[in-house]
Amino acid sequence: MKRISLFGILALAIAACTSQKPNQGTTTEKPIVVTTSTNENLAQGKVLFENNCGKCHDLPSVTSFNDEKWKSVVDWMAPKAKLTAQQADMVYSYISNSN
């Protein structure tokens, strides 16, 4: 009996972990799609932006461009910063919500 209930708890724990994984695998070639941004995405986008976009030049100001221009800039710079499409999406969400 003890064994079974332990296994049950373990199975639940594993199920809980796997169901919380973000959607991955939908990367590259797709255009950047702006999904409904959660606060978590925005916070992560900010971190990605600050950590990756000031490496080769000064960190650009989010107010430098309008959203349309930012979209193409992020599209253009994401490969330079080695961001996945998903990460680029978060960076763009952060920028477009902050300017």
Is residue 85 within the footprint of ligand HEC (CB under 6 A)?
no
Is residue 97 within the footprint of ligand HEC (CB under 6 A)?
no
CB-nearer residue toward ligand HEC: 2 or 55 = 55
Tell me the two tokens of residue 9: 């708890």
Count of alpha carbons within 13 angstroms of residue 45, beta-carbon side: 23
Residues 88 and 48: their CA atoms lie apart, in Å, by: 9
Write down the residue that tokens 């961001």 correspond to.
83
CB-nearer residue toward ligand HEC: 29 or 88 = 88
Binding to ligand HEC (CB under 6 A) within 32-71 occurs at 52-53, 55-57, 60
Q: Is 10 exposed, middle or buried (0-12, 13-18, 19+ CB in 10 A)?
A: exposed
Pick from 81, 89, 93, 96: which binds ligand HEC (CB under 6 A)? 81
Pick from 42, 46, 71, 74: which binds ligand HEC (CB under 6 A)? 74
Write down the residue that tokens 């978060």 correspond to.
90
Which window, 2-10, 14-22, 38-46, 76-84, contacts ligand HEC (CB under 6 A)?
76-84
